[in-house]
Structure 1
Amino acid sequence: MSTHILITGASRGIGAAIAAALAGGGARVVALSSADGDLADPATPDRLWQSSLDRLDGRIDGLVNNAGVFEANPADAADADWLAGWNRTMQVNLTASAQLCRHAVRHWQARGSGGRIVNIASRAAYRGDSPAHWHYAASKAGMVAMTKTIARAYAKDGILAFAICPGFTMTGMADDYLASRGGDKLLADIPLGRVAMPGEVGEMARWCATDAPASMTGAVLDVNGASYVR
Structure 2
Amino acid sequence: MTINIFATGTSRGIGKAIVERFAGEDVRIIGHRSAEADETTLAADLTDPTAPRRIWEQALERLDGRIDILVNNAGIFEAASIDAPDAAWTEAWNRTMQINLTASAELCRLAVLHFRRHGGGRVINIASRAAHRGDSPAHWHYAASKAGMVAMTKTIARGYAAENILAFAICPGFTMTGMAEDYLASRGGDKLLADIPLGRVADPIEVAEAVKFLALDAPASMTGAVIDINGASYVR
For normalisation by structure 2, the TM-score amounts to: 0.96
Please say if 1:110 is aligned against 2:117: yes
Question: Does the CA-based 8 Å contact 1:23-1:29 persist in structure 2?
Answer: no
Please say if 1:202 is aligned against 2:208: yes
Please say if 1:133 is aligned against 2:133: no
Partner of 1:164: 170
**Residues of 2 paired with 1:137 and 1:145: CA distance?**
12
Paired residues, what number? 229
Partner of 1:3: 3
**Residues of 2 paired with 1:22 and 1:143: CA distance?**
24
Q: Percent identity?
A: 70
Runs of 4+ residues over 6 Å off in structure 1: none
Q: CA deviation at 1:23?
A: 3.0
Please say if 1:154 is aligned against 2:157: no
Please say if 1:192 is aligned against 2:198: yes
Q: Select the structure with the greater relative contact order (CA < 8 A; seq sep ≥ 6).
A: 1
Please say if 1:216 is aligned against 2:229: no
Q: CA deviation at 1:79?
A: 0.8
2:44 to 30, 37, 47: 37
Question: Does the CA-based 8 Å contact 1:5-1:64 persist in structure 2?
Answer: yes
Amino acid in structure 2 at the alignment position of 1:137: A
2:90 to 83, 86, 109: 83
Q: Secondary structure, in 3 states, of the residue corresponding to 2:96?
A: helix
Deviates more, 1:136-145 or 1:204-213: 204-213
Please say if 1:49 is aligned against 2:38: no
Q: CA deviation at 1:21?
A: 1.2
**Residues of 2 paired with 1:22 and 1:47: CA distance?**
24
* CA shift digits 1:106-136 (9 cap, x unpaired): 001122x100000000000001001110000
Partner of 1:225: 231
Partner of 2:39: none
Deviates more, 1:203-212 or 1:139-148: 203-212
**Residues of 2 paired with 1:162 and 1:21: CA distance?**
18
Q: Secondary structure, in 3 states, of the residue corresponding to 1:32?
A: strand
Which has the larger share of helix? 1
Q: CA deviation at 1:72?
A: 0.6
Alpha-carbon RMSD: 0.7
Q: Secondary structure, in 3 states, of the residue corresponding to 1:42?
A: coil
Unaligned runs of 5+ in 2: 36-42
**Residues of 2 paired with 1:219 and 1:187: CA distance?**
27
Q: Secondary structure, in 3 states, of the residue corresponding to 2:169?
A: strand
**Residues of 1 paired with 2:65 and 2:99: CA distance?**
25
Amino acid in structure 2 at the alignment position of 1:11: S
* CA shift digits 1:71-101 (9 cap, x unpaired): 1111111111111110110000000000000
Q: CA deviation at 1:149?
A: 0.0
